[in-house]
Amino acid sequence: MASPIPVLTVAGSDPSGGAGLQADLRLFAADGLFGSAVIAGITVQGVGGVRRADPVDAELLAEQLDAALDALPFAAAKTGMLGSAANVLAVAARAHRVPFVVDPVLVSSSGHRLLSPEGEAALRDVLLPRAALVTPNLAEAAVLLQVDSIDPRDALDAAHELVRLGAGAAVVTGGHAPGDRICDAAWVHGPHRLDGLRVPTDRDHGTGCLHSAAITAALARGCSMLQAITEGRARMDAALRAAVKPGAARGCPWPL
């Protein structure tokens, strides 16, 4: 039997299991990949959303990363919650060793801030230019571009601006915009729109994590960037249709 392809997530831990590195590893396992995780932060969340989020010490994060990168030939990697500017810089210093998909987790859906202003600046100025792909939602893209907000009609321009800041490619997800249709705006050597119907469900905890993990998994399996983004969107729609609610916490998408 051939060894599975190694893929890495650098993210926060969600004890409710719906988001963070738990969601990433669930997607990697569903794809038959060898998922590894570097813990960037510890959250306290479940019923009622995030109540606490503490980053790990940057030296410990760096040691975890070095141990993982020295041990396994990762085909792709992704980031989620990094928690501090020092952690962002620790990842950026090693981003040349593997293609990174950067999911800029800035604020939880319940409104808990997950990265300081200094961390946001480090992500924008240092990590983003070393990213193979950045995958913000509309609100996260606005923070990275230092504007108050982004109209969904301008998402494609926002993706282009993120590439101008140095990212290899960008996709601005449209799931938080109102309406029955969703449009993800991608810039991969030019403009691309991924338009479709919204999957009607409130079991959507961890959608951003799972979406970026699906793209990372596709890249690890050898897909081109545009193929990976397209597949990531399709996988996300399928996971939302198969969403589960195993307990009292908010339900989450289930990767197939």
Q: CB count, 10 Å around CB of 179? A: 10
Q: What is the largest CA-CA distance in the chain?
A: 52
In a domain, residue 248? The reply is no
- Give pLDDT tens digits along the chain (256 positions): 789 999 999 999 999 999 999 999 999 999 999 999 999 999 998 887 888 999 999 999 999 999 999 999 999 999 999 999 999 999 999 999 999 999 999 977 666 778 999 999 999 999 999 999 999 999 999 999 999 999 999 999 999 999 999 999 999 998 777 778 999 999 999 999 999 899 999 999 999 999 999 999 999 999 999 999 999 999 999 999 999 999 888 899 999 8
Under 8 Å between Cβ of 162 and 169: no
Angle at CA 24, nearest 5°, toward 115 and 48?
55
pLDDT of residue 179: 77
Model pLDDT, residue 219 = 98
CB 172 within 8 A of CB 155: yes
Listed residue (220, 244, 246) closest to 232, CA to CA:
220
Q: For residue 228, tell me if it sits in a domain.
A: yes
Q: Which token pair is 142? A: 């606005």
Please calculate the CA angle 78-253-191 and round it to the nearest 5 degrees. 55
Q: State both tokens at 236.
A: 């996300």
Q: Which domain holds residue 76?
A: 6-241
**Domain containing residue 49: CATH number:** 3.40.1190.20
Helices (H), 72-224: 85-92, 117-122, 138-145, 155-164, 207-220
Q: Which residues in 135-169 are b (16+ Cβ under 10 Å) and which e?
A: bbbbebbbbbbeeeebebebbbbbbbbbbebebbb
Query: What pLDDT score does 110 carry?
Result: 65
Q: Considering the entire predicted model, what is its pTM?
A: 0.96
Report the distance separating Cα 55 and Cα 39, nearest Å: 9
Say if 256 falls within a structural domain: no
Report the SS3 class of residue 93. coil
* C-alpha–C-alpha distance, residues 156 and 43, integer Å: 32
Whether residue 60 lies inside any domain: the answer is yes
Is 1 inside any structural domain? no
Handedness of CA 38, 39, 40, 45 (dihedral sign): positive
Asked if residue 59 is part of any domain, the answer here is yes
Q: How many domains does the chain have?
A: 1
Task: Indicate whether 173 belongs to any domain.
Answer: yes
Give domain status of residue 249, yes or no: no
pLDDT at residue 3 in the model: 93
